[in-house]
Each structure stands twice: as C-alpha cells, then as structure tokens.
Amino acid sequence: MIACSLLVPTNFSLVVNSGFQHQENPTNDRSFIKATGGGAYKFSELFKEKLGIILEKEDEMDCLVTGANFLLKAVNHEAFTYLNGQKEFVQIDHNDLYPYLLVNIGSGVSMIKVDGDGKFERVSGTSVGGGTFWGLGKLLTKCQSFDELLELSQRGNNRVIDMLVGDIYGGIDYSKIGLSSTAIASSFGRAVSNSNELDDYKPEDVSRSLLRMISNNIGQISYLNALRFGLKRIFFGGFFTRGHSYTMDTISVAVHFWSKGEAKAMFLRHEGFLGALGAFMSYERHSLGDLMVNQSVQIPVDASSGTDTNCNPLERDLNETESMQCSVYQA
C-alpha cells in the first residue's frame, strides 16, 4: 500500500492510495485517490477515463477542519503570529484549543467556527480572496502566475494608487476618529483624481495596492466574525499567504486594529495542506493513533508550494524576508 499527500493548483487536495486484492482475482484490483475540494467532482470522470483511477470524494470542510486540528495538536511550532516583521511561535494548549475560527483563504474565503473534533460550522465567508488577487492581478499586470504576482508586490508602492486620509485632509491626520494621514481612505482611489491610464502605473504598484486591499478586507471580516461568536483565536490557512511577510503583516494589523489589540491573527506553517491531511486521515485502514498522541512530529512535505519548486514551508525562515512597518489601511 502506498500513501502520499500532495497539493495541486486546482483547488483540489489528493491522497493517493493503491490497494490490491487477492492475486487470484486481479479484476478486483483497483487504484483510488482520496480527493477533496471542487476538483474532486470536476475531474472525477477525467481521472477514471484517462488513468483508470477512482476518486473517492471527501467533504472539503470536514477535511480542512480535520487537517487543522491534527496540525495544531501534533506538530510543534505549527502556529505563529507575525506582526510588524516579528514572528513569534504560539504554544497551543491542547486542552484549551477550542473554540477557534479557521479562516481558509483559497479562491474565495471560508470562515469556520471549530468547536472540537468533527464539530464545526461554516459561519461566514467572502468571495474576495486569493482568486480575486490572482484574477485582477493577471488582468492588470499581465503576470502569468500567482507567485510572480506576489513577488512583484514586494517591489511596489501602493501610495501611488491608494487615496490616503492625508490626501483628503490636506496632509493632516483625522485624529478625532483615530485615523492617521497615511491611513488608506480608498483603495485605488488616487487613480480617480488624475488622468493616468493603466499603462502609466507600474505593475508592482498595482500588485501592492491590490494585495493590501484584499488582505485588509480578509483581516477585518475575520475579526468581525470572531467577535460575533466571542472567539479569541483566529487561524489563517489555505495557501494564500505563502509565508509572505507583507500579506501576513497586513492581515495581522487589520485584526489588531479592529480588535483594539484583544485578538491576534495566527498563521499555520502548513497552511496549504489542511485538505490533503484531512483526506489522508479519512482513510480508515491507516492507523493514525500514534500520530494523534500529544507529541511533536515532523511531517515531510514533498509537494511544491504552488509553482515555486524551491519553497518548503518546513525550512522557510520567515525572518529572511525584509520586514516592514504597516498599520491598518495604511500605505
């Protein structure tokens, strides 16, 4: 029996299993894949027709929650905060893990209230997610991959495109409501007040503004849902941040700002593998008891992160990336 987990860039998590029956009855031999996400349905017939492989579909939300619960209980230093360029690992008390909010950022965003193993509810979401960043970014910058767009944003300056509070108030703060002059009043708003065309803007500035807008939005909506249910822990997963410091800083500061410091955004080292892990753990013939003991384990990751074949979330040092100061809605 062979079992391996991998993530493919089609909103589609797979766990490959080859099971073989008695040799005298080879017609019963079969290969099947534990699959979750939309691709499990979209590509089911294609796998069967072209490869002779059966996709055994597992519920996407079940797999996400199962994968997150496993990682938070079993992997040392799985969760961390990242604010103003400072990474800090979070010690998880297994007896006080629940409830928490799992924010899974994929093409869109699902927000799941997790109350225990197998106990969860999707309480909210937004269509403004990773697919929005990639789709608009591709249209506006001609980038050919998500990671290319993300890398481009590192060199950008969103102040060129975003309208700031200072632009409206003559360079001064709106201190009465707690907004500094550098706070963003309107994402992309500066483009309205001049006669520039798209070609007049640098692609890196467009990418930076777009990333800031979407990350701020996700951070704010996440906190509002946590507030709605009285949740203090907010974990972000889903392969959107990719260890990118600016994205994590933006989400973190949005949560910090709107919660007045009472809540923290926490990120997962294996953010993009929740569904694959959950699908793997649904395979009953695997003995997973030893892994579920309260101990630290190392999970090897052989699959590439998106299109970056050199990316390994187990080895990446987040502090290698240049840190930067940022505050909510601020350029």
Residues 214-243 pLDDT 10s: 999 999 999 999 999 999 899 999 989 988
| Structure tokens belonging to residue 166 | 């200072």
Predicted confidence (pLDDT) per residue in 93-124, tens digit: 888 999 999 999 999 999 999 999 999 999 99
- pLDDT tens digit string along 152-173? 999 999 999 999 998 888 888 8
Per-residue confidence band for 210, with pLDDT thresholds at 50, 70 and 90:
very high
Q: Can you give the pLDDT at residue 7?
A: 36
Tokens of 266: 């926490």
Mean pLDDT of 207-215: 96
The winner for highest mean pLDDT among 15-19, 209-213, 312-316 is 209-213
Residues 313-324 have pLDDT tens digits of 333 443 333 332
What is the rounded CA–CA span in Å between residue 26 and residue 97?
47
Most confident of 27-31, 35-39, 155-159: 155-159
Q: Three-state SS across 268-331?
A: ECCHHHHHHHHHHHCCCCCCCHHHHCCCCCCCCCCCCECCECCCCCCCCCHHHCCCCCCCCCEC
Look at residue 136 and tell me whether its pLDDT is greater than 90. Answer: yes
Q: What is the pLDDT of residue 167?
A: 87
pTM above 0.85, yes or no: no
pLDDT confidence tier of residue 267, bands split at 50, 70 and 90: very high
**What would you report as the CA-atom Rg of the chain, rounded to the nearest whole angstrom?**
22
| Short-list 92, 22, 16, CA closest to 53 | 16
Reported confidence tier of residue 194, pLDDT bands at 50, 70, 90: confident
Mean pLDDT of the chain: 80
- In sequence order, the β-bridge partners of residue 17 are 3, 32
